[in-house]
Structure 1
Amino acid sequence: MTTKTVKNVLLVSTGAAAALAVGAVSANADTVTVKQGDSVWKLAQEYKTTTADIIKANGLENPNLILTGKTLNIPDSATPAAPAAAASTAATSVSPKNADGTVTVAAGDTLYGIATRYNVSVSTLIANNNGSTFITSGQKLSLTTAPVSAAPAAKTPAAPAASQAPVSQAPASQAPAAPASAAAPAAKAPAAPAAPVAVKKAVTPSYSTAASTTNTYYYGQCTWYVKNMLSWVPNMLGNANQWASSAAAQGFRVDHSPAIGSVVVFQGGQAGASAAYGHVAVVTAVYGDSIRIKEGNAGGNAISTRTVASASSYQYIHAK
């Protein structure tokens, strides 16, 4: 058994890790020491095996995070991979649907895979899993969206019939109508002054934050939020601090010039970003050398907005 040093880039998200596979060829079993920028997908590509085999061989609960310095087993792969169509179907989920509308989780299953196979949303599975994104082998998971019970409408009692509540009417001569001039004029409320409109250099666009099964980043992270806001952002760009190099490798323009709708990439320590994983956000406005951003999982907030200075010191990914 030998030890090898592994280099380079993409980190596969939880949902996509089980769905990716390459044609396997005969290889000796090895161990590798994880270096900065490594990913399960890259190891599978380099050693001619599959991400699913690496995940199983090392018992990885979250293949989205592999730590620098950790030793991973690279299993032997002596048989060719199944045809692409069959592999794609199997990778979505290996668990059959039970008669009671549940699925029994099997080894290698992911929420994304189960959602894809049974045509339910990832958010529904998370809700049925007590809000957790972690599933374990043997666990039963409901595939049914819980119905929302509407509160019963308040019933207004019916007015009594005219025969039950007679109304006495005075003769017209005893109750003359008041002249129109005697009626008090209706008071007119003064119009509220219009609120001043702030002048900005850029108009903030609106984005969708609805849950999507096409987003394979780890649920609730900043990477998941940016992908949900910008559909053109590809999956499998890795940790936030890897996005700039990964996007450039896929042909996206990456520079230090902010633009509305671009992705800003903060390396470790920049603007409060995680030292280990960095941070990404969406640019919603540009003010000279400052930018307004919308972000997820920052400062303990699910979604937040802030203005960041020194805009030219960060990297930006632009749509093709």
Structure 2
Amino acid sequence: MELEAILGIRVPIIQGGMGNISSAQLTAAVSEAGGLGTIGTGTMNPEQVERLIKETKQRTDQPFALNIPISVNRWSEEMLRIAVQYKLKAVSLSAGNPAPYISYLRDNGVVAMCVVSTVKHALKAAAAGAQIVIAEGVEAAGIHSSFETTTLALIPQVVDAIKLPVVAAGGIADGRGMLAMFALGAKGIQMGTRFVATTDAPFSPLYKKRLLEADDTSTIVIGRSLQKGRRVLAGPYTKSIKAQEERSITPVEFQQATNEDRHLLGALEGNEEEGYMNCGQIAGLINRVLTVRELIDSMMEECDIRLKEITAIRKSKEQG
């Protein structure tokens, strides 16, 4: 079954979980444009997440998902109950072992998606009953695996290893990237950073400005020495963390320096002196702030155009 049919969506595009900066406005906009919007639970408590779900349902009657980072959110089991209670279409499980939770979701009619960064974890997710696997490369924003496999290398290996629909994440921002992932065998894509630079994202104008100014070297990875890598925009605060890490930083100090309060300061308030902004390597491709609908429509159109161009080149060569 195709990804769109499983999730009840029109286009094979999923919004990545954005932790505590998740908003009903952006989630609903993605779903209204035909994709699968996502609320990331981050470290939020059940009451906060319920409010977001209710507001999202007021804004759209289209399917959307909940992302639960298992080892990050201490209310993970309660989040599962909430997803079932509000009849959400899907839940993506990340940052931990999803196996204990998959059957509960499936038994209650919620599509179980698992975010993985290795073939080994994809196989385990499939064996545990996942219906969709989201394979995320190291190019992606935010927390990533210490294995640091790139999306280009990861996707075809995961596709070859399992028989489930695979969604590609990390390093995708336009129709060209989408088409490339389809060529590797993915059935859809997941994006986070590109959705930040939209008019529907209620984030700091400075955050969006930094994305428009970014080039291919504008992100750094902090926490690598602790095997807690996080890809962020290079700024005063993140550079200071990087410098501290090079001198020596404890896991507790790093956790405090990168907690969700610091994330909110950077992403929502534009405070680069005391907070950080998650950012994928693909930021250098972002040169316009569009509505979510304009972005998704333009990506689908570009994907089709590029495919036709490739087909025409092949036919030309065959003819001689």
TM-score, length of structure 2 as denominator length: 0.29
Q: Which has the larger radius of gyration?
A: 1
Which structure: greater helix fraction?
Answer: 2
Which structure exhibits the higher relative contact order, with contacts defined as CA atoms closer than 8 Å and separated by 6 or more residues? 2
TM-score, structure 1 length as denominator?
Answer: 0.29
